[in-house]
Structure 1
């Protein structure tokens, strides 16, 4: 009988991680899940709470695991948390830990829009992380995700909160494009990247089959609810993002939206061979409300 897979997941409390852990647990895979804060564990799961991801304490617990899925990252900076320390330096630390632990596979969630030409702080931190993974010589799969949507994703939570206030803020025209992908498809693909050699040493856009405007996404989400859409001039939106920490959008949220980033879904479909869920159809059902 083959030895069951053992997979390490960092950032276990996050939206993607929670869904992925549930999916893998149901497949009877042994999970070693790590988070800075306490969390509820699934079956077949070893829970580790580690505030600073200390290598000395973690190393013996994760040694010779089949894969590590690194899902820690921030999308908004403050004086207490910055891209360099969280998105890059911590990733580099986890890469080093993985090498010392002789982990066979490293899976990383980067960002759609990351490239060597970028001048955006968020993308720069993700690009540097990608390079540290590639240079480590570990077998890797790097995903560059668009909006990953499901019942409890951050954007869905924002929209539900805005509905209660009877107003949703849309920066600029709202005509810029997004390419959302269902969390159910994401969990399948991440698992596939570990067990299928076709994903070895690849950088892949993690995007859905449909390109949709930000404005249209919100309209479909609302299910004909009479909620006020408040369009904020893009210059004013940037000013608020820079000066008001309570504004609904951060500077890099706006950079990503205005950047109009779309990815190569055909490459993903050809690799995975799965039938992708239509996010438009998902929105029409009202399942996210």
Structure 2
């Protein structure tokens, strides 16, 4: 068991970070949590909200922390911000700041399907970020997540909003596979990654035990509601993603879905020895609605 004196969370206002911070706080771990957006503060936590990540201001606050969680990311590009800026350049900034602060370990949330043969711009940027971390000389744990689901993740919020409108949209056939993992299991894994040496310098698929189709997930999620399900063509979905910045599915959302990526849950189970939640059971119980 590795002793932790202080942990830094970058991107503290996001869904995963919020749940992680709550879990670590309950474990009485001292937190330095940093975000550009405001967020609720937990016990044992120093809260830092900055419009711009200013190294001169942050560095003295995070000196000699045990580990840093890098949870900053974007799902869509715009004329003002792109994948390279956030996934690559910002990761390089985080690595250099961690070295100056004498932080020995980085935990990074990448993406399921990321690999050296990626041709998708989003995956390429995530792969380049992984390589920066791997070659940094710091200890690391890199997780490649599928959908991380809970009460208020973006995917669940989207489905709930569509249910309120009475109709859920599925791009294409809906027969492509997803492998969601429950947020309660994710925070336990992240905790293990900073306390157990077995996670040192590992790249792990962050996936749950159940593999199901997107259509199956949507039907189970909405089965106790009166919402109808509408399928629309991939051509229509991609056209909307290209021309509408507020489209339900971004271009890379669609690429990830159609990519039909599958992860190695058995490796995760063997390493962590966690009793993972079945997403099928959670859906059938209505606990995610």
TM-score per shorter chain, which class? over 0.9
Aligned residues, how many? 288
2:4, 2:66 within 8 Å by CA — same for their partners in 1?
A: no
Aligned to 2:144: 144
Cα distance in 1 for partners of 2:223, 2:70 equals 35
Cα distance in 2 for partners of 1:244, 1:49 equals 30
Cα distance in 1 for partners of 2:209, 2:5 equals 30
Aligned to 1:243: 243
Aligned to 1:94: 94
Aligned to 1:172: 172
Normalised by the length of structure 2, the TM-score is: 0.98
Deviation at 1:92, TM superposition (A): 1.0
Stretches of structure 1 that go unaligned for 5 or more consecutive residues are: none
Q: Is residue 2:117 matched to residue 1:117? A: yes
Q: 4+ residue stretches of structure 1 with deviation over 6 A?
A: none
2:92, 2:132 within 8 Å by CA — same for their partners in 1?
A: yes
Deviation at 1:223, TM superposition (A): 2.6
Deviation at 1:226, TM superposition (A): 2.5
Task: Answer with 111-120 or 47-56: which moved more.
Answer: 47-56
Deviation at 1:204, TM superposition (A): 0.4
Are the structure 2 counterparts of residues 274 and 3 from structure 1 closer, same or farther at C-alpha, using a change threshold of 3 Å? closer
Normalised by the length of structure 1, the TM-score is: 0.98
Deviation at 1:5, TM superposition (A): 2.5
Secondary structure of 2:261 counterpart: coil
Secondary structure of 1:284 counterpart: helix
Aligned to 2:286: 286
Deviation at 1:79, TM superposition (A): 1.1
The 5 A counterparts of 1:206-245 are 206-245=206-245
Stretches of structure 2 that go unaligned for 5 or more consecutive residues are: none
Cα distance in 2 for partners of 1:184, 1:80 equals 34
